Amino acid sequence: MNCRPTNRSRLALSLFAPCLLSFGPPNAAPFDAHKWEIQEIFSTPDASVQFVEWFNTDNDEEHLSLESVSSNAHTFNFPINLPSANTANHRFLMATAAFAALPGAPAPDYIIPAGFFNPNGDTLTYSGGDDVTFGVLPGNGVTSINRNGATQVNSPVNFAGASGSIIAGGIAATFTNFGAGCPNGPGGQTMAVSANPPVLGGSFVITFSHSPATEVIGLLGLSNQIGFGVAGVPPLPFALSGLGMPGCSLLVSADLFTVLVPNGVWTLSVPNLPALAGLSVYVQGFAQAPGANALGFVTSNAGTGLVGNH
């Protein structure tokens, strides 16, 4: 058998070879997810509740199963793609199981292990091209950071567009009243104290209403059981009938402040010191009321302020 090409076959090869060569192997499908960027990061101090929210401006960026994200200690491989190619101006959410269990939490699109990143500072690196480095994260159970490190109240959003906000751990600030004041004479009004909950870094505004005087003596202390400062006697409550104030009692210690409060409004700044969270402070007011009793003073009820980080 003669396998040498004929003149006719040579002519055919010369005409069609460039076309045959041009076909080559098929191009790979343009599957990727390289436009996603980290938008919001949140963690509790113990790293049990964490989330990372992402954002993207383009469609056809659903192929996350080709990608991964790493912290300095761990790597998470996205197990599946996002459910739709309509990804433009969408967000998705990766979070821990403890986050998903909290009231107000939108369902995460991906579950990451607890402690995936270090809340005391870390770098998140996305295989698609994004990375964010951050320092110590807020630990009050409410505040998150954006990709630039600015703080904000957490507002996670998942791919379906469900949004929410969580309170995770931390100590909630409260203010509650206790005890009773004494009236400004028979049938007179009784001075009352109220306040907003004292949150770290915020203002603690104490208001004395129904005061018979324009100035109130404000007492702020660390106990409602043992007296310090004014009267200086334990235990509390301490009846003031022996001082000419029948029906009136000292209900709080005065070891922090004893001040004159003009117009019945006392504003204190709460230091933003995490160690103060959980501290209880106690407040009461005295006011001059000539004719109310032999001493000419009345007392308000009292209140307990529990310092919290949210």
Return the H-helix or E-strand segment holding 266: strand 265-269
Is 54 in contact with 67 (CB distance < 8 Å)?
A: no
Give the number of C-alpha atoms closer than 13 A to the C-alpha of residue 242, restricted to the C-beta side: 4
Give yes or no for a contact between 196 and 185, defined as CB atoms under 8 angstroms apart: no
Task: Report whether pLDDT(230) > 90.
Answer: no
Q: Provide the whole-model pTM.
A: 0.63
Q: Rounded to an integer, what distance in angstroms lies between the CA atom of residue 186 and that of residue 297?
A: 14
Give me the pLDDT at residue 277, please. 87
Spatial separation of the C-alpha atoms in residues 209 and 203, rounded to whole Å:
19
DSSP secondary structure code for residue 64 in this structure: G
Provide the CATH topology of domain 174-306.
Answer: Immunoglobulin-like (2.60.40)
- Read off the pLDDT of residues 110-125 as tens digits, 9 standing for 90 and up: 999 999 999 999 999 9
Q: What is the pLDDT of residue 31?
A: 67
With H, G, I as helix, E, B as strand and everything else as coil, classify residue 10: helix
| SS3 assignment, position 7 | helix
pLDDT at 258: 86
Instruction: Tell the burial category of 185 from Cβ atoms under 10 Å away from its Cβ (0-12, 13-18, 19+).
Output: middle
Residue with tokens 């009461």: 284
Residue 191: what residue type?
M
Residue 219 pLDDT exceeds 70: yes
Please compute the mean of the pLDDT values over residues 199-203 and round it to a whole number. 91
The pLDDT score that the predictor gives to residue 232 is 54
Q: What pLDDT does residue 300 have?
A: 98
Residue 19 is inside which H or E element, if any? helix 7-23
User: d(Cα 49, Cα 113) in Å, to the nearest integer?
Assistant: 10
**What's the pLDDT tens digit per position in 31-40?**
679 999 999 9
Residue 38: strand pairing partners: 54
If you average pLDDT over residues 253-279, what whole number do you get?
A: 91
Give the single-character DSSP code of 129. Answer: S
* Residue ranges of domains in the chain: 37-153, 174-306
Average pLDDT over residues 239-255: 93
Residue, of 166 and 30, whose pLDDT is higher: 166
Can you tell me the distance from the alpha carbon of 309 to that of 278, in angstroms, rounded to the nearest whole number? 9
